[in-house]
Structure 1
């Protein structure tokens, strides 16, 4: 891959890395697993980037690749996530750190979301990212109507988990 393509990729990834971090929070339980999944998502994005045609926004494409990576790895090994070796990727990405106070504030919400199935987690994540139902349906590969129905059911489910 040429240097210009690599530069474009790194620039876009740095700009949108919060997407991957949020997905990592949904599918992992500790800092080490979070970092491993972030690394794996980065590798999968890097591998797929030459095929990115720009038909959708980079962030929409990144959501899809990152969610698919997390779900695939989560299903393969529910107790932990296996990752690939990062040595094949030669660039460095400046990562943002999340402080413990923020993590604690989000803890209750993420714990409730973690009780949902994989597709429900992805739908809630996109909803919380202020994606409209059209973008959600395109990212998850479901109809807009299906996305709306699922979201209403999820809201009911989360209310019952958070307010038993």
Structure 2
């Protein structure tokens, strides 16, 4: 059983990375969330009945863990990270080659609610409405409606940000 679990995690680890990158603020947060997701997957693994694809099951566990973790974190007193400027250390995490449109999309996605982030992540992963429905736990019709609303919301956020930059 342990070997099967390890193989599944290795095969679909990209799912966990995507969720952690979406919901983790700092590198440490992402690492902590990664560990928490793997732990929750391990706990849930004995009850996995293969009624859905492994990737669908993993997305559901990972997103639920991330959202639960986010809610717990938002109830804690605010933590402030020490910036690289305060240490006079260059920011090694910046990617100058990243184009402006991708940066603006990422910024706009950050403004979404946790459920909206989950839906748009799955949509950008080219999951079908049926798969998104199964992972998130809403109807297929509701998935379509929410995706359209999210697209409109993202467009407004991006337009507002561009206007403010001028």
Per the normalisation by structure 2, the TM-score is 0.79
Compute the RMSD of aligned alpha carbons: 2.0
Residue of structure 2 aligned with 1:109, choices 105, 115, 130: 105
Shift of 1:108: 3.5
Post-superposition CA distance 1:36-91 (Å, at most 9, x none): 100100100011111101000000000000000000111112277xxxxxxxxxxx
Greater relative contact order (CA < 8 Å, ≥ 6 in sequence): 1
- Equivalenced residues, count: 142
Match for 1:63 among 59, 63, 66? Answer: 59
- Map residues 12-161 of structure 1 onto 2, 5 A cutoff: 12-78=8-74, 101=95, 104=98, 107-161=103-157
Distance 2:97 2:65 in 1: 23
Note the C-alpha offset of 1:8.
Answer: 0.7
Contact 1:26/1:110, CA 8 A, preserved across alignment: no
Q: Which residue of structure 2 aligns with residue 11 of structure 1?
A: 7
CA 107–36 in structure 1, closer or farther in 2 if over 3 Å, else same: farther
Change (3 A) 1:57 1:157: same
CA distance in 1, matches of 2:18, 2:94: 15
State the distance in 2 between where 1:103 and 1:19 align.
Answer: 24
Moved beyond 6 Å, runs of 4+: none
Shift of residue 110, structure 1, vs aligned partner: 2.6
| Rounded Cα–Cα distance in structure 1 between residues aligned with 2:139 and 2:37 | 26
Determine which structure has more spread, i.e. the larger CA radius of gyration.
2
TM score, norm. by length of structure 1? 0.80
Unaligned 5+ runs, structure 2: 77-92, 161-166
5+ residue gaps, structure 1, are 81-98
